[in-house]
Amino acid sequence: MTNEVIITRRDDHVLEIELNRPEQGNALTPAMAEAITTALRALDTETRVVLVKAAGADFCTGRSAATPAAGTRATALDLRRLISDPVLDFYQVLREIPVPVVAQVRGRANGVGCAIAALADVVVAADTARFQVPEMNHDIAPTLVMNALADRIPRAALARLVLTRDAVEAAEAKELSLIGVVTGADALEAETERIVTQLAKNSAATVRAVKAFLSTAPETSFAARKELAALINSVAFAERFR
């Protein structure tokens, strides 16, 4: 499917979502978030992996937020419904889909771009990519982005990104655990394809089992993880051989 904001392709058990506002740095609009959410909620049972990428030089330079109509008096609840909830709901859908998400990042990943990277399971970034949370430059508290980053990177790294507003290069972003793979810009497509192709070759049961464990285990005790590992593994094997 192609429209003015995103392009989606389905091929060989892969759902590819491409942000498609290159002239605006792929800044996320409410329409883009809605379109991506719709695509993710429509995953079929044979999808093994979702790839999120972007057209043009930058991955995502932030978002174009909805604002109250001129002359209206908006309460805190109105602003939450208009601005916060749609973004947080989008983040939740991206985090909770039952298959791995791979993000391919080149250029700038600012604000929501950082958030999307943090919500992915594997990020493949060009060595020229840069990650930044610049909202405080505009006196905006970036708690929505922080919510996406909070369980991906250590507290000190989160504070550094948010409070200093520094742009972090890909090599350092990897050290901070924000991203997983750094490669030369000329090898970005090949490295992304290698990872996505590997996942597409697995059974749906196996990739969904791994994603379920990754989504649940960090918040549980060792004893609970033991039971969870046994249960998910058994279910995955049963699905493969039924």
CATH number of the domain that residue 116 is part of: 3.90.226.10
168-169 and 130-132: which strand pairing? antiparallel
Residues 59 and 159 in one domain: yes
Look up residue 80 and give its two tokens. Answer: 């939450």
What is the pLDDT, as a whole number, of residue 44? 92
What does pTM read for this prediction? 0.90
Look up residue 230 and give its two tokens. Answer: 């046994």
Task: Tell me the average pLDDT across 182-204.
Answer: 97
Tell me phi and psi for residue 130, to 5 degrees.
Answer: -135, 140
Residues 101 and 217 in one domain: no
What is the pLDDT, as a whole number, of residue 142? 92
> Is 222 within a domain?
yes
Task: Tell me the average pLDDT across 143-158.
Answer: 93
Residues 227 and 122 in one domain: no
In which domain, by residue range, is 236 found? 203-241
Residues 139 and 77 in one domain: yes
Q: Specify whether the CB–CB gap between 125 and 189 falls below 8 A.
A: no
Give the number of domains in the chain. Answer: 2
Q: Given pLDDT bands bounded at 50, 70 and 90, which one contains residue 3? A: low
pLDDT tens across 41-87, in order? 999 999 999 999 999 999 999 987 666 666 677 788 877 777 788 88
> Is 1 within a domain?
no
State the amino acid at position 27 in one-letter form. Answer: A
Q: Specify whether the CB–CB gap between 132 and 149 falls below 8 A.
A: no
Residues 221 and 170 in one domain: no
69 three-state secondary structure: coil
Q: Please tell me the number of Cα atoms within 13 Å of 193 on its side-chain side.
A: 6
Residue ending a domain, among 197, 217, 232, is 197
**Distance, CA of 112 to CA of 132 (rounded, Å):** 9
pLDDT tens across 103-130, in order? 999 999 999 999 999 999 999 999 999 9
pLDDT tens across 86-106, in order? 888 999 999 999 999 999 999
